[in-house]
Amino acid sequence: MAERSVLSIRDLAVQFRSEQGTVRALDGVSFDLRAGRTLGIVGESGCGKSVTARSILRLIDWPGRITGGQILLDPEEPQPTDLTALGPESRRMREVRGGRVGLIFQEPMTALSAHYTVGNQIIEAVLQHRDLSKADAKAQAIALLGEVGIPHPQRRIDAYPFELSGGLRQRVGIAMALAGDPDILIADEPTTALDVTTQAQILGLLQRLQREKGIALMLITHDMGVIAEMADEVAVMYLGRIVETAPVARLFAAPRHPYTRALLRAVPSILATPRQRLSTIGGAVPHPGLRPGGCSFHPRCAENLGERCRREVPAPVPLNEDGGASCFLAEDAA
């Protein structure tokens, strides 16, 4: 039995306009975030991971805009809220952003100001989403800092961000994201800028918080190791589309999209033999403004079927628990 879906993205499309033309940064993206589960989103630079995250929070600025699809909060309730229908600065959207949905950035300074103490900023965030006295908000901020594993929170609350190490700063970033007591957390490469030992600590922290609070976690990364460590389900993105979804064990054991297969073979491994070569994927990710026709992966695909892949667009991945791949090979195998 699948967990309750708390957020359903359906056919989401986002375009950026530029002098060179229109870039379809997202081109029909669909997935669900479920209570207590982690959806890992993986893909190479520019495939649309961050745009997906920012769309959910309605943080896409001009020249970008959502041009289609729905972002349904509480899709299983009688009256879901479609976030694409809300004004980005509307009262309801402000409540959702940082309230129901918390965001953790790659660089925690994106969320923090250099000019205020971490305490002031977390208290501010707490007050924005909860009706508390200043003193209670401060107590809450200290509790949050403790919860994310910051030693001596009573003391650290008066620190400025620059006085903290990268790892502690990311913990503060997580405390900020938790200030509104969200049940959905979106983490956009939260450990990419950190060392492995710090990364391991932060990933452990996210796992613990999720378990304790039943949070639906959307974890964006380009690191297959992080996916293997963290995700329950995985969505692989390529050029603004999801090309494969699968439960994590299945994705690694039996990837169904040629891009996923190629990506997995190209990842350096801690278990490599000396001087072991890697399989490579021909070419590079094209600019999304120059999306190839047919299956957009076909020019790089070692398994492509020729004419058909050049001309026809494979069906999007099915929205079921077992997932699937947007590829004719997978369609034919099914």
Partner 1 sequence: MNLLEVADLKKHFPIRAGLLRREVGQVRAVDGVSFHIAAGETLALVGESGCGKTTVSRCILRAQRATSGAIRFMPEDGRVVDLATIPKRELRPLRRHVQMIFQDPYASLNPRMMVGDIIAEPLKVNGVPAAERRARVLELLELVQLPASARTRFPHAFSGGQRQRIGIARALALNPRLVVADEPVSALDVSVQAQIINLLLDLQDRLRLSMLFVAHDLSVVRHVSDRVAVMYVGRMAEVAPTDALYRSPRHPYTEALLAAVPAPDPGRRGRRAPVAGEVADPARPPPGCAFHPRCPYAVDRCRVERPELREVEPGRWASCHRAQELSLAGVT
Ligand X SMILES: Nc1ncnc2c1ncn2[C@@H]1O[C@H](COP(=O)(O)OP(=O)(O)OP(=O)(O)O)[C@@H](O)[C@H]1O
What are the backbone dihedrals phi and psi of residue 33, each rounded to the nearest 5 degrees, phi first? -105, 130
Is 74 or 223 the residue whose CB approaches ligand X more closely? 223
- The residue from 222, 310, 313, 329 that contacts partner 1 (CB under 8 A) is 222
Out of ligand X, Mg ion, partner 1, none, what residue 261 binds, judged by CB under 5 to 8 A for its kind, is: none
Out of partner 1, ligand X, Mg ion, none, what residue 223 binds, judged by CB under 5 to 8 A for its kind, is: partner 1
Query: Residue 274 Cβ, how far from partner 1 at the closest point, in Å?
Result: 5
Report the candidate in 146, 114, 110, 140 with the shortest Cα–Cα distance to residue 128: 140
Q: Does 50 bind Mg ion (CB under 5 A)?
A: yes
Is 190 or 324 the residue whose CB approaches Mg ion more closely? 190
Q: Does 85 bind partner 1 (CB under 8 A)?
A: no
Query: Residue 282 Cβ, how far from ligand X at the closest point, in Å?
Result: 20
Out of Mg ion, ligand X, partner 1, none, what residue 16 binds, judged by CB under 5 to 8 A for its kind, is: ligand X
Q: Does 190 bind ligand X (CB under 6 A)?
A: no
Q: Which residue has the tokens 């076909």?
A: 298
Query: Residue 152 Cβ, how far from ligand X at the closest point, in Å?
Result: 34
Report the candidate in 188, 192, 246, 241 with the shortest Cα–Cα distance to residue 218: 188
CA 173 to chain centre: 15
Q: Which helix (H) or strand (E) holds 262?
A: helix 258-266
Report the candidate in 59, 56, 79, 57 with the shortest Cα–Cα distance to residue 10: 56
Binding residues among 32-51 for ligand X as defined by CB under 6 A: 43, 45-51
Q: Does 271 bind partner 1 (CB under 8 A)?
A: yes
Contact 234, 221 (CB under 8 A): no
Find the part of the chain contacting Mg ion (CB under 5 A) among 48-56, 82-90, 194-202, 271-279: 48-56
Q: State the amino acid at position 174 in one-letter form.
A: I
- Total residues contacting ligand X by CB under 6 A comes to 16
Q: How far is the C-alpha of 84 from the C-alpha of 29, rounded, in Å? A: 14
Q: How far is the C-alpha of 255 from the C-alpha of 326, rounded, in Å? A: 12
Contact 59, 194 (CB under 8 A): no
Q: How far is the C-alpha of 117 from the C-alpha of 177, rounded, in Å? A: 16
- Relative to beta strand 5-18, strand 21-34 is antiparallel
Out of ligand X, partner 1, Mg ion, none, what residue 125 binds, judged by CB under 5 to 8 A for its kind, is: none
Out of Mg ion, partner 1, ligand X, none, what residue 185 binds, judged by CB under 5 to 8 A for its kind, is: none
Is 192 or 198 the residue whose CB approaches ligand X more closely? 192
- The residue from 82, 160, 201, 310 that contacts partner 1 (CB under 8 A) is 201
Out of Mg ion, ligand X, partner 1, none, what residue 165 binds, judged by CB under 5 to 8 A for its kind, is: partner 1
Q: How many CB atoms lie within 10 A of CB 280?
A: 9
Is 38 or 50 the residue whose CB approaches Mg ion more closely? 50
Q: Does 36 bind partner 1 (CB under 8 A)?
A: no
- The residue from 36, 80, 88, 166 that contacts partner 1 (CB under 8 A) is 166
Burial of 109 (0-12, 13-18, 19+ CB in 10 A): middle
Sheet holding 233-238, edge to edge: 101-104, 184-188, 216-221, 38-42, 233-238, 241-247, 324-325
Footprint of partner 1 on this chain (CB under 8 A)? 44-45, 165-168, 195-201, 203-204, 222-229, 248-249, 252, 262-264, 266-281, 284-285
Footprint of Mg ion on this chain (CB under 5 A)? 50
Footprint of ligand X on this chain (CB under 6 A)? 16, 18, 23, 25, 43, 45-51, 63-64, 222, 288
